[in-house]
């Protein structure tokens, strides 16, 4: 991708301002798609667009995590910056893409950060299901009750995920309660690396 962009310079694989082919500059990015069925069948430009999208969405240093606390807004911004085509965008909801994302998280090499990402993704997936209306689906009373029961269980799961995320953020801030509270209330979220430095007193 052309054009230097210092805003993204802290990304592990900064796609902006590089000279040459993305997969040649960053062979590790090629490795996250190697051998994955649908991704191998895509045009190179589309596949590399997905690689850029993953880097923007899941790198703990991505400025999009600061700019867009809302998951959907962050995803849309990443899709636009990565220049994803409609066909590439449709891959994001597949199992192949999930494998690609997990491979990228291995490159980031932080178990705790991976847990945070996984729980945030799951929370948002469950939230969409809970928000989907039951009324208007022309269900009989038994099916309505079953759907309501499933929603209740999903809400309980969301509550559990919320509690886990609080625990993970406390851990990543070094048990600094003030920083943890700040994470939960600030409009702009700090990156884990910034939090770690602040928690340890390093500026």
Among residues 192, 47, 8, the alpha carbon closest in space to that of 105 is found at 192
Write 12-20 long-range contacts (CB < 8 A, 24+). 12/55, 12/59, 12/61, 12/107, 12/108, 13/51, 13/55, 13/59, 14/55, 15/51, 15/52, 15/55
- Predicted pLDDT of residue 176: 52
- Predicted pLDDT of residue 88: 86
- Predicted pLDDT of residue 177: 60
- Predicted pLDDT of residue 80: 94
- Predicted pLDDT of residue 109: 76
- Predicted pLDDT of residue 1: 46
Segment-wise mean pLDDT, segments of 10 residues, the chain, 203 residues: 66 89 92 88 91 92 85 90 90 88 85 88 91 78 88 95 89 59 45 40 37
- Predicted pLDDT of residue 156: 96
Q: Residue 191 carries which DSSP code?
A: P
- Predicted pLDDT of residue 136: 67
- Predicted pLDDT of residue 153: 95
- Predicted pLDDT of residue 142: 86
> CA 107 to CA 87: how far, in whole Å?
26
Helix (H) or strand (E) holding 199: helix 192-199
Q: How many CA atoms lie within 13 A of 87 on its CB side?
A: 10
């Amino acid at each position: 991708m052309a054009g230097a962009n210092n805003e993204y310079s802290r990304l592990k694989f900064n796609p902006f301002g590089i000279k040459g082919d993305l997969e040649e500059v960053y062979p590790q990015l090629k490795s996250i798609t190697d051998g994955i069925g649908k991704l191998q069948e895509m045009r190179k430009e589309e596949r590399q667009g997905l690689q850029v999208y993953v880097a923007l969405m899941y790198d703990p240093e991505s400025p999009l995590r600061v700019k867009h606390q809302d998951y959907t807004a962050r995803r849309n911004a990443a899709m636009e910056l990565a220049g994803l085509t409609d066909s590439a965008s449709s891959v994001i909801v597949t199992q192949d893409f999930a494998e690609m994302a997990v491979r990228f998280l291995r490159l980031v090499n932080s178990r705790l950060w991976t847990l945070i990402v996984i729980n945030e993704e799951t929370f948002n997936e469950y939230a969409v299901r809970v928000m989907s209306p039951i009324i208007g689906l022309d269900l009989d009373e038994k099916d309505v009750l079953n759907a309501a029961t499933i929603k209740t269980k999903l809400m309980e799961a969301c509550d559990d995920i919320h509690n886990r995320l609080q625990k993970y953020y406390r851990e990543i801030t070094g048990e600094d309660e003030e920083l943890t509270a700040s994470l939960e209330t600030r409009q702009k979220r700090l990156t884990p690396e910034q939090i770690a430095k602040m928690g340890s007193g390093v500026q």
